[in-house]
Chain A
Amino acid sequence: ELKVEQNPLFLSMQEGKNYTIYCNYSTTSDRLYWYRQDPGKSLESLFVLLSNGAVKQEGRLMASLDTKARLSTLHITAAVHDLSATYFCAARDYQLIWGAGTKLIIKP
C-alpha cells in the first residue's frame, strides 16, 4: 500500500531564507505531484515530476525527484510572503495518495 509522508508539517520562516520540504513515499511510484493550497481555496498544481532525477523550477520553487530513494523535495529560494500556503505532495498508485501537507508561513 502506497503511503506518502511529508515533513515538516509546519514551517515558519523569514523572508529571504531558503528551505526544503521533503516528501517520502513507501512503494514504487515514478510520478510525483506538488500542489499548493491557500486557506479556504482549492488545490493548484505546481509540478509533475515524471522520472528519476527530474528537476523542475518555477520562480522561487524548485522540485526534484529521486525514485531510488523514494524522495521528492520542494526547495524554496529567498522566500517571499506570497509563498505562504500549504504545500502537498502526492504520489500515484491507481489514484493520487496525498501527504498531510506542509503549512508554510513566511513572515515579512
Chain B
Amino acid sequence: GNSVTQMEGPVTLSEEAFLTINCTYTATGYPSLFWYVQYPGEGLQLLLKATKADDKGSNKGFEATYRKETTSFHLEKGSVQVSDSAVYFCARVLIQGAQKLVFGQGTRLTINP
C-alpha cells in the first residue's frame, strides 16, 4: 500500500522535554518524506524533508532521519518550547514529480510551561 502512520495524539509535554513523534510509511521504492506543522487556524508549513535513504532533515531544532530499514521518519527535538505547540503531519510523496502527497492523520502536541 501507500500509507503513512503516525503515533496517536494528543501528546502533552513540559517545556524543555525531549520530543519524539513516530512516523512509519509503506511504499515500494524510496519516496521523499516530509514533516509539516500546522499552528491553530493556519495552513501547513513545511518543517523539514528528506529525499533519500539515510538523509537527515533538520529545521528549528527538529530532526528526522530517513530510515529505509525500518521504513520510518520519526520527528525529534531535544528541548521543546511552548511555541512548538501545534499539529504535526508526516507525509510521503505518492507520485514523484507531481508531488502528490499522502499524509498521516496528524499528531497534536501541547507543551506546558
Asked if A pairs with B, the answer is no
Residues of A within 8 A of B (CB): none
Residues of B within 8 A of A (CB): none
